Structure 1
Amino acid sequence: MAIKNAFYAQSGGVTAVINASACGVIQTARKHPDKIGKVFAGRNGIIGALREELIDTSLESDEAIQALIHTPGGAFGSCRHKLKNISENPREYERLIEVFRAHDIGYFFYNGGGDSQDTAYKVSQLADRMGYPITCIGIPKTVDNDLPFTDCCPGFGSVAKYIATSTLEASLDIRSMCESSTKVFILEVMGRHAGWIAAAGGLAGQGEGEPPHIILFPEVPFNRDAFLARVDRCVKDYGYCVVVASEGAQYEDGRFLADAGVKDAFGHTQLGGVAPALANMVKQALGYKYHWAVADYLQRAARHIASATDVEQAYAVGQAAVEMAIAGKQAKMPTIVREQSSPYRWSIGEANLSEVANQEKKMPIHFIRDDGFGITSECREYLQPLIAGESFPPFENGLPKVAKLLNQLVPKKLKTEFEI
């Protein structure tokens, strides 16, 4: 079998550990020079393929690639660009094949969430329909932890650790000042339709009265009166109230509390502002002094407090993707299989991209407390091992040391440019 090059791209919102998956891909490919030639990375994800902007990772030193393990963000750039159905926009697919053929690419690794797995699946179908052989493997990544068939998603464990830690630390701050100052603190976290990240805040406390006192999940319809009554009760009983709110919190009719009124590139409602919206409710109805914070990009960029479990799993799915590809598997995604929770043991499995694409895994109802404001012991048992272990990056001059890549593009071979 002729040696073919590989194309790797990062997609969607990046994480603290997505580069660990990239490291897994590149290092594993380098161990199989008889199967894979060069690994080209798309500059800014799939856009890099469409524009023929391919980064030659073979020019990067082994040390630079190894440093990806402790570097957050997307080392090669990411994007939010969803390929349409081939019947709607065949030109995009034709362009991909043109670029892949021009650069002798026979392997396609796409590192992202549900929409990205959909893209990888469409490209695998494209190979059959257009007569160009290319092996397509999706690599799971999403802080939202909402991909099906995998016990957890690389990227989530580190966000969960950050949110649980931040909830704990902020709660101590609020408690120390609540007698004469702030009585309500609201932390807004990511999670459009699934409340996994908000649930992680629940790890900060275990006993009665320990914060967070309220968690708002997208899976539980928001009830303003019940929320305000709970806030008031907590302040009266404990002196303060800490709330962890998912950005996707919504009313019973499906309206988001924080609907910004616009759509993103994937057609999703743009969210933002659930914390100030809740704070305003508290101010108007109860009059308590409040503070709020939005974790935003901080939660998914916090490599300095990444979960060791998450780092290990992120690397493992990158490695497994390459091993699946050279084994001849097609349209698959490596998954995390939980073998037991205590002590925690896991292994790598696989799922079909056709089943993973565009699916969302929400919080199971038995993970949410009956009152809708907290997590159950079953949820705690699930979450705890995912935040376990520390994987601190090296520090230099007091700051984390990160990878510095050349990111040199290969010369273009096609005469035509492509407009996105």
Structure 2
Amino acid sequence: MAKHNAFYAQSGGVTAVINASACGVIEACRRHADRIGHVYAGHNGIIGALTEDLIDTNQESDEAIAALRHTPGGAFGSCRYKLKSIESHRAEYERLIEVFKAHDIRYFFYNGGGDSADTCLKVSQLSEKMGYPLTAIHVPKTVDNDLPITDNSPGFGSVAKYVATSTREAALDIESMCATSTKVFIFEVMGRHAGWIAAAGALAGESAEQAPHVIIFPEIAFDRAAVMARIDEAVKRHGFCVIVISEGAQYADGTFLADAGSTDAFGHKQLGGVAPTLAGMVKADLGYKYHWAVADYLQRAARHIASRTDVEQAYAVGKVAVELALDGQNAMMPAIKRVSEAPYEWQIEAAPLAQIANHEKFMPRDYISEDGLHISDAGRRYLSPLIQGEDFPPFENGLPKVAKLEKVRVARKLPDFTV
């Protein structure tokens, strides 16, 4: 059987385990060296394909590729660059096919979230229209946990573990000082439209009686009076109140509490500081002393406290992506299916990209408490297995060791192309 090359790229905001998926893809390709020659990684995601800036991963040692499994960030560079419609930007898509032809690339692995799934689907459709034999597989990744069909998204479990751990640790700090100091602590986490990460903060306590006392989701319209009443009640009952709030918290009319007035490269509203916004309300309405924190990149980069479940799933979707491609399953995504909840068991199944691209998965209403300010028992049952297990990276001189790649570039064969 003829041997052809593969292309792998990372897209969107990175996670603590996206490189574990890269490891899964590359190691699986090496195990199938009779059918896959070189694995070329796009430098800075799909931009690397457009500009023919390719990294030859075959030049990396087995040890370096294995070390990706415990390295955070995006080892080959990621990007926020969304390909527009084929009709209006056909030149970009044709350029991709030209690059793939020039380097005999027949397998396309795109590691990202919802926008990346859309790109992968479009590349698959265009290659078919142009008569170029390309098998395109989307490798799921997103801390937001908002990809449909898959039970959960690789990257989420580790963020959930970090947020739950940080919430518990901060709560103990606040509790120890609340008699004479801070009464309210607000922890802002990621989640533009879906409140999965905020929900994970609830795992810090065994019930709503323990911190965090309030969780604010994008899926539940923000009611200032109700939230302030709950905060006041918690302070009077416990002496302090811990709040986890999603960056995408919004009013009933869809306006974000923290709309910064601009958009990012994907066309998403730029959100800026919902924690200080809520803190201002606490000061104005209740007069309590407060502190707030924004997890920001720390939550998605925290490989040192990654969930073992998450690492294993991230590696598995990368590995299975290659198997799907070699099996000729085009425009598909390896999805995680929960087989059993107690004990927790999962497996990987193929899901069609047409049912994933441009669709978001939100927190089910029955995962949220009746009053909308905490999680339900069903939500806890869903979340808990995803943070289980530890997979500590090796340490050296007191710090985590990370992969060191050579990143040898592939010689260009085509004229320059500007994005």
TM range (shorter): over 0.9
1:171 partner amino acid = A
1:50-129 superposed matches below 5 A: 50-129=50-129
**1:47 corresponds to:** 47
Distance in 2 of aligned mates of 1:408 and 1:239? 58
CA contact (8 A) 2:338 2:346 kept: yes
Q: Secondary structure at the match of 1:318?
A: helix
Superposition deviation, residue 64 in structure 1: 0.2
The alignment's TM-score, normalised by the length of structure 1, stands at 0.99
Distance in 2 of aligned mates of 1:286 and 1:192? 27
Quote the RMSD (CA, aligned, Å): 0.6
* CA deviation vs aligned residue, 1:323-361 (integer Å, no higher than 9, x gap): 000111100000000001111000011110111001100
Superposition deviation, residue 4 in structure 1: 0.8
Distance in 2 of aligned mates of 1:45 and 1:315? 19
1:9-408 superposed matches below 5 A: 9-408=9-408
* CA deviation vs aligned residue, 1:20-64 (integer Å, no higher than 9, x gap): 000000000001111111000000000000000000000000000
Superposition deviation, residue 208 in structure 1: 5.0
Structure 2 residues not aligned, in runs of 5+: none
1:252 partner amino acid = A
* CA deviation vs aligned residue, 1:99-147 (integer Å, no higher than 9, x gap): 0011010000000001000000000001111111100000000000000
* CA deviation vs aligned residue, 1:43-101 (integer Å, no higher than 9, x gap): 00000000000000000000000000000000000001111111011100111011001
Residues paired across the two proteins, number: 419
Distance in 2 of aligned mates of 1:209 and 1:107? 51
1:208 and 1:123, CA in 2 relative to 1: closer, same or farther beyond 3 A? Answer: closer
Superposition deviation, residue 317 in structure 1: 0.2
Structure 1 residues not aligned, in runs of 5+: none
Q: Secondary structure at the match of 1:22?
A: helix
Following TM superposition, the consecutive aligned residue runs of length 4 or more in structure 1 with deviations greater than 4 angstroms are none
Distance in 1 of aligned mates of 2:85 and 2:67? 37
**2:416 corresponds to:** 417
Distance in 2 of aligned mates of 1:128 and 1:303? 39
1:268 partner amino acid = H
CA contact (8 A) 2:192 2:247 kept: yes
The alignment's TM-score, normalised by the length of structure 2, stands at 0.99
2:254 partner amino acid = G
2:309 partner amino acid = T
2:363 partner amino acid = M
Q: Secondary structure at the match of 1:243?
A: strand
1:108 and 1:338, CA in 2 relative to 1: closer, same or farther beyond 3 A? Answer: same
CA contact (8 A) 2:21 2:319 kept: yes
Q: Secondary structure at the match of 1:55?
A: strand
Superposition deviation, residue 14 in structure 1: 0.2
Q: Secondary structure at the match of 2:64?
A: helix
